[in-house]
Chains A and B, each alone.
Chain A
Amino acid sequence: RKEVEQDPGPFNVPEGATVAFNCTYSNSASQSFFWYRQDCRKEPKLLMSVYSSGNEDGRFTAQLNRASQYISLLIRDSKLSDSATYLCVVYTGGFKTIFGAGTRLFVKA
């Protein structure tokens, strides 16, 4: 079983749609959680951190459920520019950071 698992997609949605990505992690002692965004043939960049209380940044909402070892990212009112791969990232301590394989999103006009 992978330490961090994501649905690879691709998710194909129309502009304006709401889309949700899920991620599960296996190490219950994991400390910090993040979503990174990676555009085609580019480097990953931090999108947002994920907290147990949930956090929102504009159209993006991230949630963490420690009991179920589950992280989610919700994108509302999708834009063409949201098309990218979204990486679930889990920090487990020391220098250990685990990256999911990513979920691809295509937003179409």
Chain B
Amino acid sequence: DVKVTQSSRYLVKRTGEKVFLECVQDMDHENMFWYRQDPGLGLRLIYFSYDVKMKEKGDIPEGYSVSREKKERFSLILESASTNQTSMYLCASTRGAGGNTIYFGEGSWLTVV
């Protein structure tokens, strides 16, 4: 069974802290994504990566950075967490060209206080 694993499910962080969200997929997918999901706004793309060490900004990259050192792993970094980054973060992966099935991790619920 395909699997996208987000290591942290629930986090509470203080304003200004550095936050790492880790994601691992076991499907050998080329493409990996980080989204945030907020009520009424749907999923919004933060960053994506189509290959190791490659990254592209999504729709809302401000305040975030990413790292992809290995094909199976894609990390999201909040350099200095702020309260407006309280949200659910979803990692996803897809194979090949766009339009294919998107496989999501279970989500990381981040609260910044």
A residues with a Cβ closer than 8 A to B are: 4, 8, 31-32, 36, 41-46, 87, 89, 91, 93-97, 99-102
Cα of A44 to Cα of B104 in the assembled complex, Å: 7
Sampled A-B contacts (5; CB under 8 Å): A41-B107, A43-B106, A44-B43, A95-B98, A99-B43
B residues 74-104 in Cβ contact with A at 8 Å: 90, 98-99, 101-102, 104
Cα of A99 to Cα of B56 in the assembled complex, Å: 19
Residues of A within 8 A of B109 (CB): 41
**Min CB distance, A55 to chain B, in Å?**
15
Q: How large is the interface on B (under 10, 10 to 19, 20 to 34, 35 or more residues)?
A: 20 to 34
Cα of A87 to Cα of B44 in the assembled complex, Å: 13
**Min CB distance, B106 to chain A, in Å?**
5
Cα of A92 to Cα of B87 in the assembled complex, Å: 26
Q: Which residue of A lies closest to B88 (CB)?
A: A41
**Min CB distance, B78 to chain A, in Å?**
20
Tell whether, in the assembled complex, residue A46 and residue B101 are in contact, meaning their CB atoms are under 8 Å apart: yes
Cα of A46 to Cα of B43 in the assembled complex, Å: 14
**Min CB distance, A32 to chain B, in Å?**
4
Tell whether, in the assembled complex, residue A96 and residue B98 are in contact, meaning their CB atoms are under 8 Å apart: yes
Q: Which one of A32, A42, A96, A97 lies within 8 Å of B107 (CB-CB)?
A: A42
Residues of A within 8 A of B56 (CB): 95
Tell whether, in the assembled complex, residue B106 and residue A97 are in contact, meaning their CB atoms are under 8 Å apart: no
Q: Which residue of B lies closest to A33 (CB)?
A: B99
